Amino acid sequence: MATPPTATELEHQAREAFVDDDFASAAALYTQAIAAAGSSPSAAALYADRAQAYIKMGDFAAAAADAAIAAELDSSMARAHLRRAHACAKLEQYGAARAAAEAGAALAPADARFAHLIKEIDAKAPKPMETEVSPAAATAAPALPATAEMKPKYRHDFYNSAAEVVVTVFAKGVAAEHVAVEFGEQLLSVSVEVPGEAAYHLQPRLFGKIVPDKCRFAVLSTKIEVRLAKAEPGTAWPSLEFTGKPRLVAAATAAAAAAPPGGWPSYPSSKGRKDWDKIEAEVKKAEKEEKLDGDAAANKFFQDIFSNADEDMRRAMTKSFQESNGTVLSTNWEDVGSKKIDPSPPEGMDLRKWEY
């Protein structure tokens, strides 16, 4: 009986399929590699790479779910945040897309793709409705408040993983005793009642059913994080609230079900079989012997600064880099926190709009 291929062998075959633009075969092979890898540290990279294959296939819900899992397994993987941002933007989940892009930018401040992606997301995200008030109306007696037009006190967002839906309520500095969270079979209730302030309630009928006993939440310094255990693991929710649309079968479940009984055959690449272990060893040796310069040296320099910085320095670096279109990097939050940072290209160079 033939020995089953290892996770590394399956990953190599998936790469060959991806290079040959056979993204469906690449996704299926990555699924097998993920199953073979189990809880290995390499699983995060496999999820991130399968997300890229799904993006190429136009399956953005599966891509967003895979990228979220990759980021959860390895929060320091910038490309996982990048791919989640791309997929969520395509799904018009602009809040989740921007959060992912900001997380990636914090990890790789010298990577201009994040700043440009954030600008693209902000340009596409719907703007709040503005109502024009005539001078006569402005001087008239105040009308009763229209509760239907009131803006929610806190913003909320969500993302999928294989077994959970994670809901985030961006309530900063709220004490745990003022927060109440309840779970039902297809219901969620989040209440924030701070004395002297307007109460906040989030009570959606959920897109799918959950297992209340396995759900949990945490009140953190900047947010309330709620983890909903899916009653049907392996499905992706395209929205938090019920819409009547069918649930999407997540990537791992669909690809595993489609696999033939004997497993997928070794992918026949037109470029010939590559010895990826040898290539990887050569690359690592070259990287070790090479002296970094130019962008590579700058990127490592910025990453070292960021990894050793406190929260204010990181906020300053992220804000200055994004707002200046990658031309200014400051570590002084007191200097940049209260003002907009204009682009400042080096002397002798012109600022040009990014083209994708």
Tell me the mean pLDDT in the region 243-248: 63
Percentage above 90 pLDDT, the chain: 27
User: Mean pLDDT over all residues of the chain?
Assistant: 78
Q: How many CA atoms lie within 13 A of 88 on its CB side?
A: 29
Q: Which of 79, 72, 66, 55 is nearest to 33 (CA)?
A: 66
Angstrom distance (rounded) from CA 333 to CA 80: 27
Structure tokens of 102?
A: 């900001």
Do 232 and 240 form a contact (C-beta atoms < 8 A)? no
Reported confidence tier of residue 223, pLDDT bands at 50, 70, 90: very high
Domains and CATH numbers, the chain: 1-125+250-274 (1.25.40.10), 163-248 (2.60.40.790), 309-356 (no CATH)
pLDDT at 257 over 80: no
Which are the contacts of 112, defined by CB distance < 8 A and separation ≥ 6? 325, 326, 354
**What pLDDT score was predicted for residue 130?**
46
The residue with greater pLDDT, 332 or 283, is 332
| CA dist 176 → 172, 173, 204 (Å) | 11, 9, 21
Tell me the mean pLDDT in the region 59-72: 89
